[in-house]
Amino acid sequence: MKKLIEIDETTLTKLKILSAFEDLSVKKLMEKAIVLFVQSKEKEQSEKLTDEQKEDIGLLLLMQQADRNDTVSREEIFKALEE
pLDDT in tens, 34-66: 999 999 999 999 899 999 999 999 999 998 888
Cα separation, 75 vs 52, in Å, equals 31
Q: Provide the pLDDT for residue 52.
A: 94
Contact between 61 and 54 (Cβ < 8 Å): no
Q: Provide the pLDDT for residue 14.
A: 95
Q: What is the DSSP letter of 68?
A: T
Q: Supply the pTM of this predicted model.
A: 0.59
Q: Provide the pLDDT for residue 2.
A: 78
Identity of residue 45 = Q
3-class state of residue 54 by DSSP: helix
82 pLDDT tier (thresholds 50, 70, 90): confident
**Mean pLDDT computed over 27-39:** 95
